[in-house]
Structure 1
Amino acid sequence: MSSQNNEEPICSICNILIHDLKYAICDSCKRPNHYKCAVLSTTEQRCLELKVSRRVKFYCDDCEKGLQVLPQVLSTLSALKLEINSLRDAFSKQIQDVTKQAAPLPENQSNQLEEMIEEYTDRQRRKKNLIFIDINESDSCDVEVRRKTDLDQVIQVLISITNEQPIINSTHRLGKKLENKTRPLKVIFQNPDIALSILKRKHLYNGTVRIFSDKTPKQRDYLNQLKLELDRLNSIEGSHEKTIKYINGTPKIIDLHPQKTQTKN
């Protein structure tokens, strides 16, 4: 293909103007790519240049990767939908049983039940996410450049932790961009097991970036209250003898140096 527009397109791979070089348009995202940058064979080039009945499709690297993970994403969504439906059915049965044995549930209890379901669903959805703090944020006006900069930095951190590159579905910044302030970066992985593995091994990383699980608002509120209680207890005792530790995924206040139980002779 050759450019006929007044404003010349830019190759999405090398970010250089197309000029008179031949290029292909991605059939998914519609971005142009130089033949050379896309590493297309002569046969592929000829097929793409057919004006009528072109059956060969061209996808850029980003779209090709997206198409590869799409079946896995759909499978995960289907599994999540089944889990949610199963949970709703179970709660529905419990409600029916209670209704048969007692008076109807008050409205406030019914609302609490809905909140519990929503909270559970939200926690399950967030399990495959991690929050990265202090990942340098690009000032580029190009969205793709900013995303690539974020992704490259995340990959460097992950390789230092796992010695491999986990599959990342997407990344995006949280909050409104402010001058001289770096926003947290949410990283969504292929499945929760990848995120959990990184959390368990993040102590192997000795850089400046911090990594946390993606908590729901209720989880964040509970953790903040727990921190206030920890400060209160430590101030009463006059020393930092207590700390917060995650037990079965739930943060709890424990003794920093638990006393051993003495056995009687």
Structure 2
Amino acid sequence: MQLKKRILRFLCNECNNGLIQIPSLVRSIEELKTDIENLKLKYDKPFDGNHSVLQPKVNEIASEDIISEMLERQKRANNIMISNLDEANSNSKDDLTSLKLILKDLNVDVDNIKVNRIGKPNQQRLRLVKVILKNPEDAITVLKSRRNVKMPSIKIFQDQTKKQIQY
């Protein structure tokens, strides 16, 4: 009676070894499924089989940072920064006069420029000068021709955002 309820199986050695490996294969498949689900959550588009690159999601915080960075760069597009401009007993009129001389050599319209020193006066080092030009084209012209400045100590560079400086 008891033999009728039992099932007798006979497996060859290869099949028997294969059955032993099944639990580890099932675990590996479950891990792969979990990894695939995590990757799907990270990317908007799943892999479409055409070898296209998966695009990461841009969350609201990242998009807000990108937009504010772009706006900040647009605000600074007209600006250039100048270092090592002498400021001994200078005021904004002296700075404006000396900058007009420098910029006239670079073929830039100097009628409506604004000049500001950045930071507090310091005896040890010269402050940067922020020059606000009429348009971004003038700023690009100055940056392209900055090597033609007759005073070698003066450095001219783009007004950069904090993220540009960090990068």
Q: TM-score range by the shorter chain?
A: 0.5 to 0.7
Equivalenced residue count is 111
Superposition pairs of residues 73-222 of structure 1, within 5 angstroms: 109-139=59-89, 146-162=91-107, 165-207=109-151, 208-222=153-167
Paired AA for residue 163 in structure 2: K
Flag as ranges the 4+ runs of structure 1 deviating above 2 A: 164-169
Paired AA for residue 136 in structure 2: P
Paired AA for residue 67 in structure 2: I
2:130 is paired with a residue whose SS is strand
- 1:150-200 deviation digits (Å, cap 9, x = unpaired): 1011111112222x5423331111112112321000000111111111111
* Structure with max Cα Rg: 2
1:153 is paired with a residue whose SS is helix
- 1:110-154 deviation digits (Å, cap 9, x = unpaired): 1111100000000011010000111111426xxxxx010110111
Native 8 Å contact 1:161 1:204 kept in 2? yes
Native 8 Å contact 1:173 1:183 kept in 2? yes
Deviates more, 1:197-206 or 1:124-133: 197-206
- 1:60-105 deviation digits (Å, cap 9, x = unpaired): xxxxxxxxxxxxxxxxxxxxxxxxxxxxxxxxxxxxxx9xxxxxxx
1:47 corresponds in structure 2 to none
2:21 corresponds in structure 1 to none
Higher relative contact order (CA 8 A, sep 6+): 2
1:209 Cα deviation after fit:
1.1
Superposition pairs of residues 47-66 of structure 1, within 5 angstroms: none
TM-score (norm. length: structure 2): 0.61
1:256 corresponds in structure 2 to none
Paired AA for residue 162 in structure 2: P
Q: Over the residues paired in the alignment, what is the CA RMSD in angstroms? A: 2.0
TM-score (norm. length: structure 1): 0.39
1:213 Cα deviation after fit:
0.6
Residue ranges of structure 2 left out of the alignment (5+ in a row)? 1-43, 45-56
1:220 is paired with a residue whose SS is helix
In 2: Cα distance, 1:186 partner to 1:139 partner: 18
1:219 Cα deviation after fit:
0.5
Native 8 Å contact 1:173 1:185 kept in 2? yes
Paired AA for residue 216 in structure 1: T
